[in-house]
Homo-oligomer: A and B are copies of this chain.
Amino acid sequence: MAVQFGHIAGYPTGSPFKNREELRIAGLHSQNMAGISGNAKTGADAIVVSGGYVDDADYGEIIIYTGHGGRDPNTGRQIRDQELIDSGNAALVRSELEGLPVRVIRGRHNKRHHQSPFAPSSGYRYDGLYRVESHWAKMGVDGFRVWQFRLVKLKDGEVSTPKDTSPASIDQYAVGPAPVTTSIMQRIVRNSMIAHIVKSWYSHECQVCGLAIQVEGGLYSEGAHIRGLGQPHHGPDVPENLLCLCPNDHVRFDNGAIYLTDELHVMDALTGQAVGQLRVHKNHKIDLRHVAYHRECWTKD
């Protein structure tokens, strides 16, 4: 079954399924066993959430989903580290980086794990489209490293053809035979009054590379939280937890391509080498606990 993104015709949100085989035949999920449908090249088009991982957490519109691999098939416990290069995990990263919609299918929870109030009482249920907002590593409850993904439910207006435009037919580019969602959010940059203050200290110059993007009428920069806001990171929206970055370095920082040492050296995660020193304004007291939290999300040790 080919990977195909978006809703599947004939199966609206809430559709029930008896088992994985029905899901596969309907085209909602390409796998019989694995939780993640898709691969590193095309991205992930669907996941099954069934509480198989003790590190999972389901808040309804927000899901913390543990990646694939390293689990004992009999006990369900982690027995070695997960790798991001694993096909399922890499597929979710690709969906995050590209802004591809992921179908979420919830399954009845196995009795040995915690019960989610959002799980169906039997079988499986298609629960609509989510986007992969971010990912990070953490030490799982079984003592091995797992990768986790934060998925956020897409609202109706976030998965549609803009109503006030007249797009040409996109059938010729469709990945599969199903209707293709035209546009979803790939990345959202938020601003807050706190970020406003931090950016003003730097006159919008990136703390990593020094660039301030200049357009007619002003300068542009982004406020990057060192420890993320919201579930599950709970980082605070305070200057001690914010950096002023250019968009390119913001993407790099949020995806762990760069991280900071306690001496505020900027490290390239791919080479493990220092690539510079973070620029820090005299008013800006950066909290090293948040720096360590971010680093632990992206480094092996």
Q: Which residues of A contact B (CB under 8 A)?
A: 5, 40, 59, 62, 84-85, 89-90, 93-94, 97-100, 135, 161-162, 164-168, 170, 173-175, 180-194, 196-197, 199, 211, 213-220, 222, 229-231, 234-239, 246-248, 250-252, 255-257, 269-270, 298
A191 to B183, Cβ gap below 8 A?
Answer: yes
In the bound assembly, the distance between CA atoms of A174 and B215 in angstroms comes to 27
Nearest-Cβ distance from residue A42 to partner chain B, whole angstroms: 9
Nearest-Cβ distance from residue A211 to partner chain B, whole angstroms: 7
A217 to B93, Cβ gap below 8 A?
Answer: yes
Chain B residues whose CB sits within 8 angstroms of the CB of A246 once the complex forms:
247-248
Q: A164-B234, A167-B238, A257-B216 are in contact. Are A182 and B189 (CB under 8 A)?
A: no
Chain B residues whose CB sits within 8 angstroms of the CB of A168 once the complex forms:
236-238
Chain B residues whose CB sits within 8 angstroms of the CB of A187 once the complex forms:
187-189, 222, 247
Chain B residues whose CB sits within 8 angstroms of the CB of A167 once the complex forms:
236-238
Chain B residues whose CB sits within 8 angstroms of the CB of A59 once the complex forms:
164
Contact of A90 among B94, B183, B217 (CB under 8 A): B217
Copy total for this chain: 2
In order of increasing CB-CB distance, the 9 nearest A-B pairs are A99-B191, A247-B247, A93-B217, A215-B255, A186-B191, A187-B189, A215-B257, A167-B237, A183-B192
A166 to B247, Cβ gap below 8 A?
Answer: no
Q: A164-B230, A183-B191 are in contact. Are A94 and B248 (CB under 8 A)?
A: no
Contact of A189 among B181, B186, B231, B248 (CB under 8 A): B186
B216 to A270, Cβ gap below 8 A?
Answer: yes
Q: A174-B193, A187-B188, A188-B188 are in contact. Are A164 and B231 (CB under 8 A)?
A: yes
Q: A184-B191, A189-B186 are in contact. Are A217 and B170 (CB under 8 A)?
A: no
In the bound assembly, the distance between CA atoms of A253 and B189 in angstroms comes to 17
Chain B residues whose CB sits within 8 angstroms of the CB of A256 once the complex forms:
215-216
In the bound assembly, the distance between CA atoms of A197 and B90 in angstroms comes to 19
A99 to B230, Cβ gap below 8 A?
Answer: no
Chain B residues whose CB sits within 8 angstroms of the CB of A135 once the complex forms:
217
Contact of A182 among B94, B161, B193, B211 (CB under 8 A): B193
B186 to A170, Cβ gap below 8 A?
Answer: no
Chain B residues whose CB sits within 8 angstroms of the CB of A231 once the complex forms:
164
In the bound assembly, the distance between CA atoms of A25 and B262 in angstroms comes to 49
In the bound assembly, the distance between CA atoms of A164 and B183 in angstroms comes to 27
A215 to B251, Cβ gap below 8 A?
Answer: yes
Chain B residues whose CB sits within 8 angstroms of the CB of A248 once the complex forms:
211, 213, 246-248
Chain B residues whose CB sits within 8 angstroms of the CB of A211 once the complex forms:
248
Q: A90-B218, A94-B217, A164-B59 are in contact. Are A182 and B192 (CB under 8 A)?
A: yes
In the bound assembly, the distance between CA atoms of A147 and B162 in angstroms comes to 23
In the bound assembly, the distance between CA atoms of A213 and B211 in angstroms comes to 16
Chain B residues whose CB sits within 8 angstroms of the CB of A175 once the complex forms:
193, 196
